[in-house]
Structure 1
Amino acid sequence: MAHGESVGIILIEDDDGHATLVERNLRRAGLTNGFMRFADGQEALDYFFGAPLAGGTATSRPPRDDLANSVVLLDLKMPRVDGFEVLRRLKETPATAALPVIVLTTTDDPREIGRCYDLGCNVYISKPVEYDAFIEAVRRLGFFLQVVKLPPGHRMVHRQPPQ
Structure 2
Amino acid sequence: MSAQIHLATPDDAERVLSMVARFHEEFALDLSDEHRARAVLPLLEGHPLGAIYLIGPRRAPVGYICVCFGWAIEMGGIDGFIDEFWVRPSVRGRGIGMEALHKVMTALGEAGVFFMHLEVDREDDRAQRLYRRYGFEARERYFLMSMDLSKLPKA
- Same fold? TM cut 0.5: no
Higher relative contact order (CA 8 A, sep 6+): 1
Scaled by the length of structure 2, what TM-score is found?
0.32
